[in-house]
């Protein structure tokens, strides 16, 4: 049994379509547990979840579909064009997400000696202090754009705009303890992940 201070917690991050989920699968195959921030947000935005209730309290029933689920396109139209709304949304949801991530982290720290947390906006949202190491999945913008276009069926312009709206890889690099270069094949990435894992204490 370990505690937060005895456990090694590694944060995994990287830009859109950089390969975080792909790395997560490799890490899980090696026997490590991974907390997935996107999944947690998704679960809490489902009907009755903490984020769902907070958004409903804030914006009212107009953000719901007839079946009671969140109307994501309506939410997007209400929040994204307006800076004040974006700020408020980040404030309301960010606090809840941080609390839930901390709860999951503390729970896992009681059972595991080493585990990972996949947080896409780890650096942007200031989670650096939580981690013993930060692994950054790095991909060149041209390759990132190609993979994003293919995965999300986007035009080159749409994919480039999404990439450009994010903090750049170069700005993130100074925070990383390890940079996983994902510009080559999946086999190449697997080798890099294996070697990074080899340098860790074994999973419990």
Binding site for ATP: residue ranges? 17-22
Q: Which stretch binds ligand ATP (CB under 6 A): 40-48, 78-86, 99-107, 184-192?
A: 184-192
Asked if residue 185 binds ligand ATP (CB under 6 A), the reply is yes
| Count of residues that interact with ligand ATP, criterion CB under 6 A | 15
Least CB distance to ligand ATP at residue 68 (A): 26
Asked if residue 120 binds ligand ATP (CB under 6 A), the reply is yes
Q: Given the complex with ligand ATP, which of 160 and 204 has the nearer CB atom? A: 160
Least CB distance to ligand ATP at residue 180 (A): 10
- Which of the 8 DSSP states describes residue 133? E
Angle between helical axes of 72-79 and 50-59 (0-180°, round to 10):
50
Q: Edge-to-edge strand order for the sheet containing 33-36?
A: 33-36, 114-118, 8-14, 133-138, 178-181
Least CB distance to ligand ATP at residue 79 (A): 19
User: In this structure, how many other beta carbons lie within 10 angstroms of the beta carbon of residue 160?
Assistant: 17
Asked if residue 11 binds ligand ATP (CB under 6 A), the reply is no
Give the residue ranges of DSSP H helices in the chain: 20-29, 37-45, 50-59, 72-79, 83-109, 141-152, 156-164, 169-172, 186-198
Q: Give contact residues for ligand ATP (rule: CB under 6 A).
A: 14, 16-22, 120, 147, 151, 182, 185-186, 189
């Amino acid at each position: 049994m370990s505690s937060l201070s005895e456990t090694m917690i590694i944060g995994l991050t990287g830009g859109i379509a950089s390969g975080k989920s792909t790395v997560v699968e490799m890490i899980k195959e090696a026997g490590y547990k991974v907390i997935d921030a996107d999944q947690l947000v998704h679960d809490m935005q489902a009907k009755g979840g903490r984020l769902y209730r907070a958004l409903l309290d804030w914006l009212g029933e107009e953000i719901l579909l007839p079946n009671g689920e969140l109307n994501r396109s309506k939410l997007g139209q209400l929040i994204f064009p307006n800076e004040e709304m974006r700020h408020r949304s980040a404030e309301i949801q960010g606090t809840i997400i941080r609390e839930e991530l901390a709860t999951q982290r503390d729970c896992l720290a009681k059972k595991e000696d080493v585990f990972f947390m996949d947080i896409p906006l780890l650096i942007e949202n200031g989670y650096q202090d939580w981690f013993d190491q930060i692994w950054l999945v790095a991909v060149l913008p041209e390759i990132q754009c190609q993979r994003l276009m293919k995965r999300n069926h986007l035009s080159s312009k749409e994919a480039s705009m999404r990439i450009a709206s994010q903090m750049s890889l170069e700005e993130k690099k100074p925070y990383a303890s390890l940079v996983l270069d994902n510009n080559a094949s999946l086999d190449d990435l697997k080798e890099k992940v294996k070697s990074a894992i080899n340098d860790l204490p074994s999973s419990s």
